[in-house]
Structure 1
Amino acid sequence: MNWGKELRAFRQRTGLKQEAAAHLLGVSQAYVSRLENSTASPSSQLEAKLERLLQEPEHRPLFEHFRTTISHSPHLISMLAEVDGKIIVDTVSEALRDHGTPFHRLAPGEVLESSNSDVIEILDAFLDLGAFSGRIASMQVTWTYNNEGDPVSHWRTTEIPVRDDAGRWYLHGAHVEITAEEKQQLLRDWDGPIKVRTFADEDEGAAPSPANDTEAA
Protein backbone atom coordinates (compact mmCIF):
# COMPACT_ATOMS: atom_id res chain seq x y z
CA MET A 1 0.00 0.00 0.00
CA ASN A 2 1.17 3.55 -0.76
CA TRP A 3 0.81 4.95 2.75
CA GLY A 4 1.77 8.47 1.74
CA LYS A 5 -0.93 8.58 -0.92
CA GLU A 6 -3.49 7.10 1.47
CA LEU A 7 -2.58 9.58 4.20
CA ARG A 8 -2.83 12.56 1.85
CA ALA A 9 -6.23 11.38 0.58
CA PHE A 10 -7.36 10.89 4.18
CA ARG A 11 -6.32 14.43 5.13
CA GLN A 12 -8.02 15.93 2.07
CA ARG A 13 -11.19 14.00 2.84
CA THR A 14 -11.32 14.98 6.49
CA GLY A 15 -9.81 18.47 6.27
CA LEU A 16 -7.03 17.42 8.67
CA LYS A 17 -3.86 19.53 8.70
CA GLN A 18 -0.44 17.87 8.53
CA GLU A 19 0.29 19.04 12.06
CA ALA A 20 -2.84 17.34 13.42
CA ALA A 21 -2.08 14.14 11.47
CA ALA A 22 1.44 14.16 12.89
CA HIS A 23 0.03 14.46 16.42
CA LEU A 24 -2.32 11.50 15.87
CA LEU A 25 0.55 9.37 14.56
CA GLY A 26 3.16 10.49 17.07
CA VAL A 27 5.58 11.83 14.46
CA SER A 28 6.72 15.28 13.31
CA GLN A 29 4.94 17.39 10.72
CA ALA A 30 8.10 17.25 8.60
CA TYR A 31 7.94 13.44 8.63
CA VAL A 32 4.29 13.51 7.49
CA SER A 33 5.35 15.78 4.61
CA ARG A 34 8.17 13.39 3.61
CA LEU A 35 5.83 10.41 3.87
CA GLU A 36 3.24 12.03 1.60
CA ASN A 37 5.96 12.95 -0.90
CA SER A 38 7.27 9.35 -0.92
CA THR A 39 10.68 10.38 0.43
CA ALA A 40 10.15 8.40 3.64
CA SER A 41 8.82 4.90 4.33
CA PRO A 42 6.91 4.10 7.53
CA SER A 43 8.18 1.55 10.03
CA SER A 44 6.02 -1.49 10.72
CA GLN A 45 4.88 0.18 13.95
CA LEU A 46 3.83 3.33 12.09
CA GLU A 47 2.12 1.24 9.39
CA ALA A 48 -0.03 -0.31 12.14
CA LYS A 49 -0.92 3.18 13.44
CA LEU A 50 -1.78 4.37 9.93
CA GLU A 51 -3.96 1.33 9.31
CA ARG A 52 -5.86 1.87 12.58
CA LEU A 53 -6.33 5.55 11.79
CA LEU A 54 -7.61 4.96 8.27
CA GLN A 55 -9.92 2.09 9.29
CA GLU A 56 -11.72 3.89 12.11
CA PRO A 57 -15.38 4.15 11.00
CA GLU A 58 -15.49 7.93 11.33
CA HIS A 59 -12.42 8.21 9.10
CA ARG A 60 -13.46 5.81 6.35
CA PRO A 61 -14.34 7.40 2.99
CA LEU A 62 -18.08 7.95 2.58
CA PHE A 63 -17.96 5.84 -0.57
CA GLU A 64 -16.75 2.84 1.45
CA HIS A 65 -19.96 3.05 3.48
CA PHE A 66 -21.89 3.18 0.20
CA ARG A 67 -20.09 0.03 -0.97
CA THR A 68 -21.08 -1.66 2.29
CA THR A 69 -24.76 -0.86 1.72
CA ILE A 70 -24.48 -2.54 -1.67
CA SER A 71 -22.61 -5.58 -0.34
CA HIS A 72 -25.27 -6.29 2.28
CA SER A 73 -28.31 -5.36 0.20
CA PRO A 74 -31.13 -7.93 -0.04
CA HIS A 75 -31.73 -6.74 -3.62
CA LEU A 76 -30.01 -7.65 -6.89
CA ILE A 77 -27.43 -4.85 -7.01
CA SER A 78 -24.06 -4.47 -8.69
CA MET A 79 -21.56 -1.66 -9.13
CA LEU A 80 -19.18 -1.45 -12.07
CA ALA A 81 -16.04 0.59 -12.73
CA GLU A 82 -14.01 1.35 -15.85
CA VAL A 83 -10.25 0.76 -15.86
CA ASP A 84 -8.15 1.24 -19.00
CA GLY A 85 -11.14 0.80 -21.29
CA LYS A 86 -12.34 -2.38 -19.57
CA ILE A 87 -15.41 -2.71 -17.36
CA ILE A 88 -14.61 -4.14 -13.93
CA VAL A 89 -16.94 -5.56 -11.30
CA ASP A 90 -16.46 -3.35 -8.23
CA THR A 91 -19.11 -4.55 -5.77
CA VAL A 92 -22.00 -7.03 -5.77
CA SER A 93 -24.78 -7.54 -3.24
CA GLU A 94 -25.22 -10.69 -1.17
CA ALA A 95 -28.54 -11.24 -2.94
CA LEU A 96 -26.85 -11.05 -6.35
CA ARG A 97 -24.13 -13.49 -5.27
CA ASP A 98 -26.76 -15.90 -3.95
CA HIS A 99 -29.06 -15.61 -6.96
CA GLY A 100 -26.96 -17.84 -9.20
CA THR A 101 -27.34 -17.69 -12.99
CA PRO A 102 -26.69 -15.30 -14.69
CA PHE A 103 -24.73 -13.53 -11.96
CA HIS A 104 -22.85 -16.52 -10.56
CA ARG A 105 -19.53 -15.50 -12.13
CA LEU A 106 -19.54 -11.88 -10.98
CA ALA A 107 -16.72 -11.23 -8.51
CA PRO A 108 -15.20 -7.92 -7.39
CA GLY A 109 -12.07 -7.10 -9.35
CA GLU A 110 -12.98 -9.30 -12.32
CA VAL A 111 -13.20 -7.91 -15.86
CA LEU A 112 -16.82 -8.09 -17.02
CA GLU A 113 -16.90 -10.07 -20.26
CA SER A 114 -19.58 -11.99 -22.11
CA SER A 115 -20.15 -14.01 -25.27
CA ASN A 116 -23.82 -12.97 -25.15
CA SER A 117 -24.63 -10.49 -27.95
CA ASP A 118 -27.15 -8.57 -25.80
CA VAL A 119 -24.61 -8.04 -23.04
CA ILE A 120 -21.76 -7.16 -25.44
CA GLU A 121 -23.92 -4.44 -27.02
CA ILE A 122 -24.77 -2.98 -23.62
CA LEU A 123 -21.18 -3.03 -22.33
CA ASP A 124 -20.03 -1.24 -25.48
CA ALA A 125 -22.80 1.34 -24.97
CA PHE A 126 -21.65 2.00 -21.39
CA LEU A 127 -18.26 3.07 -22.75
CA ASP A 128 -19.46 4.81 -25.92
CA LEU A 129 -22.13 6.89 -24.16
CA GLY A 130 -19.82 8.11 -21.40
CA ALA A 131 -21.43 6.28 -18.50
CA PHE A 132 -18.08 6.32 -16.66
CA SER A 133 -17.29 9.98 -17.34
CA GLY A 134 -20.37 11.74 -16.00
CA ARG A 135 -21.99 12.35 -19.40
CA ILE A 136 -25.33 10.71 -18.58
CA ALA A 137 -27.75 10.89 -15.65
CA SER A 138 -29.05 7.32 -15.92
CA MET A 139 -29.48 4.42 -18.29
CA GLN A 140 -31.97 1.57 -18.51
CA VAL A 141 -31.17 -1.57 -20.46
CA THR A 142 -32.95 -4.81 -21.22
CA TRP A 143 -31.10 -8.00 -22.03
CA THR A 144 -31.39 -11.77 -22.24
CA TYR A 145 -29.07 -14.33 -20.69
CA ASN A 146 -28.89 -17.27 -23.07
CA ASN A 147 -25.81 -19.40 -22.50
CA GLU A 148 -25.79 -23.04 -23.53
CA GLY A 149 -26.68 -25.34 -20.64
CA ASP A 150 -28.13 -22.56 -18.46
CA PRO A 151 -31.75 -21.44 -18.09
CA VAL A 152 -32.74 -18.54 -20.34
CA SER A 153 -33.72 -15.39 -18.42
CA HIS A 154 -34.70 -11.82 -19.35
CA TRP A 155 -33.70 -8.73 -17.41
CA ARG A 156 -34.27 -5.02 -16.99
CA THR A 157 -31.36 -3.15 -15.38
CA THR A 158 -31.31 0.47 -14.22
CA GLU A 159 -27.80 1.94 -14.17
CA ILE A 160 -27.05 5.16 -12.26
CA PRO A 161 -23.60 6.82 -12.48
CA VAL A 162 -22.18 7.65 -9.02
CA ARG A 163 -18.90 9.28 -7.99
CA ASP A 164 -16.51 8.37 -5.19
CA ASP A 165 -14.61 10.73 -2.88
CA ALA A 166 -11.80 11.05 -5.44
CA GLY A 167 -14.13 11.90 -8.34
CA ARG A 168 -14.04 8.50 -10.08
CA TRP A 169 -17.27 7.38 -11.74
CA TYR A 170 -19.03 4.04 -11.21
CA LEU A 171 -22.28 2.49 -12.41
CA HIS A 172 -24.76 1.39 -9.74
CA GLY A 173 -27.02 -1.25 -11.28
CA ALA A 174 -30.36 -2.60 -10.01
CA HIS A 175 -31.52 -5.77 -11.76
CA VAL A 176 -35.11 -7.02 -12.14
CA GLU A 177 -36.06 -10.26 -13.89
CA ILE A 178 -38.83 -9.83 -16.46
CA THR A 179 -40.73 -12.03 -18.92
CA ALA A 180 -39.91 -12.40 -22.61
CA GLU A 181 -43.11 -10.46 -23.39
CA GLU A 182 -42.09 -7.62 -21.09
CA LYS A 183 -38.69 -7.44 -22.76
CA GLN A 184 -40.28 -7.23 -26.21
CA GLN A 185 -42.52 -4.40 -24.98
CA LEU A 186 -39.49 -2.49 -23.67
CA LEU A 187 -37.71 -2.95 -27.01
CA ARG A 188 -40.72 -1.40 -28.73
CA ASP A 189 -41.09 1.41 -26.19
CA TRP A 190 -37.38 2.29 -26.28
CA ASP A 191 -36.81 1.54 -29.96
CA GLY A 192 -34.03 -0.83 -28.89
CA PRO A 193 -32.47 -2.28 -25.73
CA ILE A 194 -31.21 0.99 -24.20
CA LYS A 195 -32.88 4.11 -22.83
CA VAL A 196 -30.67 6.99 -21.69
CA ARG A 197 -31.53 10.01 -19.56
CA THR A 198 -29.15 12.95 -19.89
CA PHE A 199 -28.67 15.78 -17.43
CA ALA A 200 -30.50 18.04 -19.90
CA ASP A 201 -33.47 15.66 -19.64
CA GLU A 202 -33.27 15.91 -15.85
CA ASP A 203 -33.22 19.72 -15.93
CA GLU A 204 -36.05 20.08 -18.43
CA GLY A 205 -38.19 17.14 -17.35
CA ALA A 206 -37.96 15.76 -20.88
CA ALA A 207 -38.53 12.14 -21.86
CA PRO A 208 -35.36 10.00 -21.83
CA SER A 209 -33.61 9.58 -25.15
CA PRO A 210 -33.27 6.24 -26.94
CA ALA A 211 -29.64 5.32 -27.58
CA ASN A 212 -30.04 2.54 -30.06
CA ASP A 213 -28.61 3.80 -33.32
CA THR A 214 -25.61 2.05 -34.75
CA GLU A 215 -23.12 4.65 -33.55
CA ALA A 216 -24.28 4.52 -29.94
CA ALA A 217 -24.50 0.75 -29.79
Structure 2
Amino acid sequence: MDWASKIKALRYFEDLKQDVLARQLGVSQASVSQWERGVAEPPEAAQRRLLRRLAHTPPERFLRALKQSVRSSPNVAFLMVRRGEDVVIELVSEGLEARTDFLRTEDVGLQLRGLFGPQVDSQLDELVQAGLFEGKLDAVHASAVLTRDGRSSAVQVSMIPFRVQTADVDYVVRVEVRYPAVPEEDLEKVEPEMIMVPQRKPELEA
Protein backbone atom coordinates (compact mmCIF):
# COMPACT_ATOMS: atom_id res chain seq x y z
CA MET A 1 0.00 0.00 0.00
CA ASP A 2 1.12 3.54 -0.76
CA TRP A 3 1.19 4.67 2.87
CA ALA A 4 2.90 7.98 2.11
CA SER A 5 0.10 9.39 -0.05
CA LYS A 6 -2.62 7.84 2.11
CA ILE A 7 -1.32 9.46 5.30
CA LYS A 8 -0.78 12.83 3.61
CA ALA A 9 -4.31 12.68 2.25
CA LEU A 10 -5.75 11.75 5.65
CA ARG A 11 -4.00 14.68 7.31
CA TYR A 12 -5.00 17.03 4.51
CA PHE A 13 -8.71 16.30 4.71
CA GLU A 14 -8.94 16.00 8.48
CA ASP A 15 -6.80 19.14 8.82
CA LEU A 16 -4.31 17.42 11.12
CA LYS A 17 -0.73 18.38 11.81
CA GLN A 18 1.82 15.59 11.99
CA ASP A 19 2.20 15.88 15.76
CA VAL A 20 -1.58 15.63 16.29
CA LEU A 21 -1.89 12.50 14.16
CA ALA A 22 1.16 11.07 15.92
CA ARG A 23 -0.49 11.52 19.34
CA GLN A 24 -3.68 9.90 18.07
CA LEU A 25 -1.70 6.89 16.85
CA GLY A 26 0.58 6.72 19.89
CA VAL A 27 3.78 7.32 17.94
CA SER A 28 6.29 10.14 17.54
CA GLN A 29 5.97 13.01 15.07
CA ALA A 30 9.27 11.84 13.55
CA SER A 31 7.67 8.49 12.75
CA VAL A 32 4.76 10.11 10.91
CA SER A 33 7.25 12.25 8.98
CA GLN A 34 9.19 9.13 7.93
CA TRP A 35 6.00 7.40 6.77
CA GLU A 36 5.00 10.39 4.66
CA ARG A 37 8.45 10.58 3.09
CA GLY A 38 8.36 6.89 2.27
CA VAL A 39 11.52 6.04 4.22
CA ALA A 40 9.61 3.73 6.56
CA GLU A 41 6.21 2.06 6.84
CA PRO A 42 3.89 2.24 9.85
CA PRO A 43 4.12 -0.72 12.23
CA GLU A 44 1.27 -3.21 12.16
CA ALA A 45 -0.68 -1.63 15.04
CA ALA A 46 -0.53 1.82 13.45
CA GLN A 47 -1.49 0.35 10.07
CA ARG A 48 -4.66 -1.11 11.58
CA ARG A 49 -5.61 2.26 13.10
CA LEU A 50 -4.89 4.09 9.86
CA LEU A 51 -6.89 1.60 7.80
CA ARG A 52 -9.90 2.10 10.07
CA ARG A 53 -9.64 5.86 9.53
CA LEU A 54 -9.15 5.50 5.79
CA ALA A 55 -12.08 3.10 5.51
CA HIS A 56 -14.37 6.03 6.20
CA THR A 57 -12.99 7.88 3.16
CA PRO A 58 -13.58 5.72 0.05
CA PRO A 59 -12.02 6.92 -3.23
CA GLU A 60 -15.16 8.62 -4.52
CA ARG A 61 -15.65 10.52 -1.26
CA PHE A 62 -11.97 11.38 -1.16
CA LEU A 63 -12.14 12.81 -4.68
CA ARG A 64 -15.28 14.80 -3.84
CA ALA A 65 -13.51 16.30 -0.83
CA LEU A 66 -10.46 17.14 -2.92
CA LYS A 67 -12.62 18.83 -5.55
CA GLN A 68 -14.41 20.85 -2.89
CA SER A 69 -11.10 22.00 -1.39
CA VAL A 70 -9.99 23.26 -4.81
CA ARG A 71 -13.36 24.75 -5.68
CA SER A 72 -13.40 26.81 -2.48
CA SER A 73 -9.72 27.79 -2.57
CA PRO A 74 -9.11 31.55 -2.20
CA ASN A 75 -6.19 31.17 -4.60
CA VAL A 76 -6.01 30.44 -8.32
CA ALA A 77 -6.18 26.66 -8.24
CA PHE A 78 -7.24 23.76 -10.40
CA LEU A 79 -7.17 19.98 -10.66
CA MET A 80 -5.67 18.18 -13.62
CA VAL A 81 -5.89 14.52 -14.56
CA ARG A 82 -4.44 12.33 -17.27
CA ARG A 83 -6.91 10.63 -19.56
CA GLY A 84 -5.12 8.48 -22.11
CA GLU A 85 -2.46 10.66 -23.68
CA ASP A 86 -4.21 13.90 -22.71
CA VAL A 87 -3.76 15.99 -19.56
CA VAL A 88 -7.10 17.63 -18.86
CA ILE A 89 -8.26 20.44 -16.57
CA GLU A 90 -10.78 18.72 -14.30
CA LEU A 91 -11.96 21.60 -12.12
CA VAL A 92 -11.04 25.21 -11.27
CA SER A 93 -11.47 27.31 -8.14
CA GLU A 94 -14.59 29.42 -7.89
CA GLY A 95 -14.19 33.12 -8.55
CA LEU A 96 -10.76 32.70 -10.10
CA GLU A 97 -11.67 35.07 -12.92
CA ALA A 98 -11.62 37.90 -10.39
CA ARG A 99 -7.93 37.10 -9.82
CA THR A 100 -6.73 36.10 -13.29
CA ASP A 101 -7.92 36.08 -16.87
CA PHE A 102 -5.40 33.48 -17.99
CA LEU A 103 -7.36 30.58 -16.47
CA ARG A 104 -11.12 30.50 -16.97
CA THR A 105 -14.14 28.55 -15.82
CA GLU A 106 -14.84 27.41 -19.37
CA ASP A 107 -11.39 25.76 -19.49
CA VAL A 108 -12.76 22.79 -17.53
CA GLY A 109 -12.56 19.73 -19.75
CA LEU A 110 -9.93 21.23 -22.06
CA GLN A 111 -6.58 19.65 -22.78
CA LEU A 112 -3.79 21.54 -21.03
CA ARG A 113 -1.31 21.14 -23.88
CA GLY A 114 -1.53 24.01 -26.31
CA LEU A 115 -3.43 26.26 -23.90
CA PHE A 116 -0.65 28.27 -22.24
CA GLY A 117 2.26 28.33 -24.66
CA PRO A 118 5.46 26.39 -25.36
CA GLN A 119 7.15 26.76 -21.97
CA VAL A 120 4.18 25.23 -20.16
CA ASP A 121 3.83 22.49 -22.79
CA SER A 122 7.50 21.57 -22.46
CA GLN A 123 7.30 21.36 -18.68
CA LEU A 124 4.10 19.31 -18.86
CA ASP A 125 5.71 16.79 -21.20
CA GLU A 126 8.66 16.50 -18.82
CA LEU A 127 6.34 15.91 -15.86
CA VAL A 128 4.40 13.20 -17.67
CA GLN A 129 7.65 11.44 -18.54
CA ALA A 130 8.82 11.78 -14.92
CA GLY A 131 5.69 9.97 -13.71
CA LEU A 132 3.65 12.77 -12.13
CA PHE A 133 0.46 10.81 -12.82
CA GLU A 134 1.97 7.48 -11.78
CA GLY A 135 2.91 8.22 -8.18
CA LYS A 136 6.60 8.77 -8.88
CA LEU A 137 6.66 12.39 -7.64
CA ASP A 138 5.67 13.83 -4.27
CA ALA A 139 5.49 17.46 -5.39
CA VAL A 140 6.55 19.87 -8.11
CA HIS A 141 7.50 23.54 -7.93
CA ALA A 142 7.83 25.36 -11.24
CA SER A 143 8.10 28.79 -12.79
CA ALA A 144 7.52 29.78 -16.40
CA VAL A 145 6.01 32.36 -18.70
CA LEU A 146 2.57 31.41 -19.95
CA THR A 147 1.08 32.89 -23.09
CA ARG A 148 -2.56 33.13 -24.03
CA ASP A 149 -4.49 35.25 -26.52
CA GLY A 150 -1.37 37.23 -27.39
CA ARG A 151 -0.60 38.15 -23.78
CA SER A 152 2.05 36.76 -21.44
CA SER A 153 2.58 36.50 -17.68
CA ALA A 154 5.14 35.00 -15.35
CA VAL A 155 3.75 32.28 -13.07
CA GLN A 156 4.91 30.23 -10.11
CA VAL A 157 3.18 26.89 -9.72
CA SER A 158 3.01 24.26 -6.98
CA MET A 159 1.66 20.79 -7.75
CA ILE A 160 0.77 17.94 -5.41
CA PRO A 161 -0.45 14.59 -6.79
CA PHE A 162 -3.05 12.60 -4.87
CA ARG A 163 -3.79 8.94 -5.40
CA VAL A 164 -7.54 8.41 -5.70
CA GLN A 165 -7.94 5.15 -7.69
CA THR A 166 -11.46 5.72 -8.94
CA ALA A 167 -12.92 3.86 -11.90
CA ASP A 168 -11.21 6.05 -14.51
CA VAL A 169 -8.45 7.96 -12.69
CA ASP A 170 -5.53 6.79 -10.53
CA TYR A 171 -4.01 10.17 -9.66
CA VAL A 172 -5.24 13.75 -9.65
CA VAL A 173 -2.89 16.71 -9.33
CA ARG A 174 -3.80 19.80 -7.34
CA VAL A 175 -2.23 22.92 -8.85
CA GLU A 176 -1.85 26.31 -7.13
CA VAL A 177 -0.82 29.27 -9.28
CA ARG A 178 0.77 32.56 -8.23
CA TYR A 179 1.52 35.53 -10.45
CA PRO A 180 4.73 37.31 -9.39
CA ALA A 181 4.99 40.97 -10.33
CA VAL A 182 7.25 40.92 -13.40
CA PRO A 183 7.12 43.91 -15.77
CA GLU A 184 6.17 42.99 -19.31
CA GLU A 185 9.50 44.22 -20.64
CA ASP A 186 11.31 41.75 -18.34
CA LEU A 187 9.30 38.64 -19.24
CA GLU A 188 11.80 37.53 -21.87
CA LYS A 189 14.42 37.34 -19.11
CA VAL A 190 12.38 34.82 -17.10
CA GLU A 191 13.91 31.36 -17.42
CA PRO A 192 11.62 28.37 -16.90
CA GLU A 193 12.59 26.34 -13.85
CA MET A 194 11.22 23.19 -12.31
CA ILE A 195 11.97 21.29 -9.12
CA MET A 196 10.57 17.76 -8.98
CA VAL A 197 10.45 16.08 -5.58
CA PRO A 198 10.62 12.32 -6.18
CA GLN A 199 8.53 9.79 -4.31
CA ARG A 200 10.91 8.39 -1.73
CA LYS A 201 11.23 4.65 -1.44
CA PRO A 202 12.01 2.85 1.81
CA GLU A 203 15.72 2.21 2.20
CA LEU A 204 16.61 -1.47 2.41
CA GLU A 205 18.81 -2.51 5.28
CA ALA A 206 21.99 -4.34 4.42
Secondary structure of 2:109's partner?
Answer: coil
Residue number in structure 2 paired with 1:112: 112
**Greater relative contact order (Cα < 8 A, sep 6+):** 2
Letter matched to residue 154 of structure 2: H
Would the alpha carbon gap of residues 165 and 117 (structure 1) be closer, same or farther in structure 2, given more than 3 Å must change? closer
Does residue 68 (structure 1) correspond to residue 81 (structure 2)? The answer is no
Would the alpha carbon gap of residues 121 and 69 (structure 1) be closer, same or farther in structure 2, given more than 3 Å must change? same
Would the alpha carbon gap of residues 186 and 117 (structure 1) be closer, same or farther in structure 2, given more than 3 Å must change? closer
Letter matched to residue 96 of structure 2: L
Residue number in structure 2 paired with 1:175: 177
Report the aligned-residue RMSD. 3.2
- 1:139, 1:159 within 8 Å by CA — same for their partners in 2? yes
Give the TM-score, by structure 2 length.
0.58
Would the alpha carbon gap of residues 59 and 165 (structure 1) be closer, same or farther in structure 2, given more than 3 Å must change? closer
Would the alpha carbon gap of residues 180 and 124 (structure 1) be closer, same or farther in structure 2, given more than 3 Å must change? same
Does residue 142 (structure 1) correspond to residue 143 (structure 2)? The answer is yes
Q: Distance in 1 between matches of 2:155 and 2:102?
A: 10
Q: Show structure 1 runs of 4+ deviating over 4 A.
A: 181-187
Secondary structure of 1:159's partner?
Answer: strand
Secondary structure of 2:107's partner?
Answer: coil
Secondary structure of 1:179's partner?
Answer: coil
**Deviation of residue 184 (structure 1)?**
9.3
Q: Distance in 1 between matches of 2:68 and 2:90?
A: 12
Q: State percent identity of aligned pairs.
A: 14
The structure with the largest alpha-carbon Rg is 1
**Deviation of residue 123 (structure 1)?**
1.5
Q: Deviations over 1:63-114 (max 9, x none)?
A: 2122112112211111100011110011110143443421136532221132
Q: Deviations over 1:161-206 (max 9, x none)?
A: 112253710111111111349989985xxxx511111123x979xx
- 1:61, 1:165 within 8 Å by CA — same for their partners in 2? no
Residue number in structure 1 paired with 2:198: 198
Secondary structure of 1:171's partner?
Answer: strand
Letter matched to residue 176 of structure 1: R
Runs (5+) with no aligned partner, structure 2: 1-57
Give the TM-score, by structure 1 length.
0.55
